[in-house]
């Protein structure tokens, strides 16, 4: 449960219609298996203790009393566990029959949550047997179970995880316009469980999945859906045993017996919900307004605190589409956002020319590609784009050649201005020893290049297009008032890993073989500012990732820290999973510490960031996503990094 994770299960057990004894045994066996796997919230289907498809047998006292006896057996079997169980069963209260979720923990029956929306149509004629359950919860004194809660408005608060509150609804409750889960969530529920029957018809699986995902996103909650399966009667319907676990619009796990190669076997779907992440999302969303006047009954439950074993995966490259099928659509969307942002700025100020520095590196390559797309969109000639290559002390033949080849291939205007003489003059003016390769040596070159670009823009009535990306901004890996400054930054919302992905996409889809060859060579070139002299054999000597760390790690840290508010310890835990076999624990800790330190100390550069379009769910603009004081202390974060041991899990 550390870091807000809790393992949950959606179970479809074997059942026999009206055979309560058999069903109770199967539920107990499935519970023990899920409990062994570490599940702490275990959800069974609607009316699974008797079978959903009993029809008029629900009116038989023998079946109803058998269900109560079966529940007592289940309660007894769960006595040594602190897991929270939800089991579907019929319950007669004051002469009326209700379709309920029995809630159990530690051998006790805590409550019965009744179904509120009773379907009354062809397949599901439940209104023949069941009454809609009461909304307001109250205590009942039942002979077999003693004093228990009965009603819909009940929240089960698990004290082991801050903010973990569970509420239940049953099948049709999900499908109606005023679903109970909406009110549950607004009243504090962070996890909704749904005990369902849900028969299978053509196309229903996709719609059901879409519904669960959209509602979990709408309510910023975890959603556990467990449906009836093979054992139900097939007299008029087939039940497919759908099991879904979703978290804020993301499907964590899904299975259904209908897709299985085996028949009538218990199915257990397991995953972990991240309650800490859900709470962070709710804090950020000011339109998610809790109902302060909600009259819910809260049941406080204890669970042993333990480190939840994680089975869910964490994408090592969260900014890059993981589905290859979505690649074209996603890349085109990103490139269009960049191009249209720049097009708006050019059209607004009446500029028909652009100037940018072209180095032969990834960032300036993407900027040139986006600028060319923008000029096509505006119907402007590409020759109005001036790409300036400015060789200096660290420029290599490889990057120089690629910069020139790409500019010519795209039809932009290439201009070369060697800055060695002007920089050496500047060194003389300020008394800098040219043989002293310090930060002054490096930054003087970056600022000279920016001055040239700005002056060329003034000469030609053009806009200076920035090339720096979001990863560099996060780390402060930019020369203040050098490459840090422009008149519009198209890459401001693009992290380094995504820059590579976009350039690779264009290389793969362009019809120009020469352009594709150049782009692939750019992709193979080490990331470098090329501010220090090359090696004796003319190769790049200053490799950025050797100095600040691998960008794929930094992009991972950036995403989970800003998008979900994770602390260093939690980021370290999931980074070990995402990069298993690629980076050692020591390496991850080293660069995580560097990231935290640089992220805080370099905020002053982001505070005066040029305009540029937001592209994804993470941004660093001081006018948008990140409003952070430049002198905020990083002590809490860096001290937590220091406390990390690579041996900890």
The catalytic residue positions are 46, 115, 171
Q: Is 150 helix (H, G, I), strand (E, B) or coil?
A: strand
Are the C-beta atoms of residues 241 and 259 closer than 8 Å to each other?
A: no
Element (H, E) at 503: helix 496-509
Instruction: Write the DSSP symbol of residue 580.
Output: T
Exposed/middle/buried for 577, CB within 10 Å: 0-12, 13-18, 19+? Answer: middle
Are the C-beta atoms of residues 412 and 381 closer than 8 Å to each other?
A: no
CA angle (587 as vertex; 581, 591 as ends), nearest 5: 130
Q: Is 134 helix (H, G, I), strand (E, B) or coil?
A: coil
- DSSP-assigned states of every residue in 233-256: --SS--B---EEEEETTEEEEEE-
27-29-31-33 Cα dihedral, nearest 10 degrees: -150
Structure tokens at 220: 């910023």
User: Backbone dihedral region of 55: left (phi > 0), alpha (psi from -120 to 50 degrees) or beta?
Assistant: left
Are the C-beta atoms of residues 82 and 302 closer than 8 Å to each other?
A: yes
Structure tokens at 504: 């690779």
Helices within 138-261 (DSSP H only): 172-175, 180-186, 204-218
CA distances from 10 to 145, 160, 243, 281 (A): 25, 21, 6, 24
Are the C-beta atoms of residues 142 and 148 closer than 8 Å to each other?
A: yes
Q: Is 510 helix (H, G, I), strand (E, B) or coil?
A: coil
Q: Is 600 helix (H, G, I), strand (E, B) or coil?
A: helix
Are the C-beta atoms of residues 84 and 105 closer than 8 Å to each other?
A: yes
d(C-alpha 367, C-alpha 370), whole Å: 5
Structure tokens at 332: 């085109």
């Amino acid at each position: 449960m550390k870091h807000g994770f809790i393992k949950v299960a959606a179970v479809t057990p074997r059942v026999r219609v009206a055979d309560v004894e058999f069903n109770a045994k199967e539920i107990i066996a499935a519970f023990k298996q899920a409990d062994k796997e570490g599940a702490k919230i275990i959800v069974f289907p609607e009316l699974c203790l008797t079978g959903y498809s009993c029809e008029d047998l629900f009116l038989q006292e023998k079946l109803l009393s058998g269900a109560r006896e079966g529940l007592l057996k289940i309660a007894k079997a769960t006595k040594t566990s602190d897991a929270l169980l939800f089991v579907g069963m019929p319950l007669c209260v004051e002469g009326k029959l209700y379709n309920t979720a029995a809630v159990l923990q530690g051998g006790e029956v805590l409550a019965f949550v009744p179904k509120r929306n009773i379907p009354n149509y062809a397949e599901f004629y439940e209104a023949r047997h069941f009454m809609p359950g009461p909304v307001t919860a109250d205590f009942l004194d039942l002979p077999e179970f003693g004093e228990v809660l009965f009603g819909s408005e009940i929240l089960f608060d698990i004290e082991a995880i801050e903010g973990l509150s569970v509420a239940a609804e049953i099948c049709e409750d999900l499908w109606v316009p005023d679903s109970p889960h909406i009110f549950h969530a607004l009243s504090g529920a962070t996890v909704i469980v749904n005990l369902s029957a849900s028969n299978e018809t053509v196309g229903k699986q996709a719609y059901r999945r879409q519904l669960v995902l959209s509602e979990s996103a709408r309510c910023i909650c975890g959603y556990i859906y467990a449906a009836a399966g093979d054992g139900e009667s097939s007299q008029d319907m087939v039940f497919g045993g759908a099991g879904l676990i979703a978290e804020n619009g993301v499907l964590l796990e899904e299975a259904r017996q209908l897709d299985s190669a085996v028949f009538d076997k218990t199915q257990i779907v397991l995953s972990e919900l991240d309650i800490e992440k859900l709470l962070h999302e709710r804090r950020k969303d000011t339109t998610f307004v809790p109902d302060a006047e909600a009259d819910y009954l809260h049941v406080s439950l204890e669970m042993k605190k333990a480190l939840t074993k994680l089975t869910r995966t964490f994408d090592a490259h969260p900014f890059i589409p993981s589905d290859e099928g979505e690649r074209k659509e996603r890349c085109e969307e990103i490139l269009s956002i960049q191009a249209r942002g720049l097009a708006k700025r050019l059209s607004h100020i009446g500029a028909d020319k652009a100037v940018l520095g072209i180095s032969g590196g990834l960032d300036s390559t993407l900027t040139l590609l986006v600028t060319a797309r923008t000029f096509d969109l505006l119907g402007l000639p590409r020759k109005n784009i001036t790409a300036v290559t400015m060789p200096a002390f660290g420029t290599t033949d490889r990057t120089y050649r690629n910069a020139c080849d790409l500019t010519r291939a795209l039809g932009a205007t290439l201009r070369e201005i060697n800055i060695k003489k002007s920089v050496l003059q500047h060194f003389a003016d300020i008394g800098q020893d040219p043989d002293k390769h310090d930060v002054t040596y490096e930054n003087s070159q970056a600022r000279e290049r920016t001055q040239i670009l700005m002056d060329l823009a003034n000469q030609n009535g053009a806009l200076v297009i920035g090339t720096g990306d979001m990863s560099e901004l996060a780390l402060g890996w930019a020369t203040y008032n050098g490459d840090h400054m422009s008149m519009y930054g198209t890459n401001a919302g693009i992290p380094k890993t995504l820059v590579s992905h976009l350039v690779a996409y264009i290389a793969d889809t362009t019809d120009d073989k020469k352009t594709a060859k150049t782009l692939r060579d750019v992709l193979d070139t080490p990331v470098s500012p090329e501010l220090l002299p090359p090696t004796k054999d003319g190769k790049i000597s200053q490799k950025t990732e050797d100095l600040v760390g691998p960008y794929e790690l930094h992009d991972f840290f950036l995403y989970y820290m800003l998008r979900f508010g994770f602390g260093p310890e939690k980021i370290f835990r999931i980074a070990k999973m995402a990069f298993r076999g690629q980076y050692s624990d020591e390496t991850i800790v080293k660069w995580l510490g560097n990231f935290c330190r640089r992220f805080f100390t370099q905020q002053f550069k982001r505070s005066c960031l040029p305009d540029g379009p937001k592209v994804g769910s993470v941004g660093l603009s001081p006018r948008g996503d990140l409003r952070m004081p430049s002198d905020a202390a990083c002590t809490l974060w860096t001290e937590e990094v220091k406390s990390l041991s690579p041996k900890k899990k």
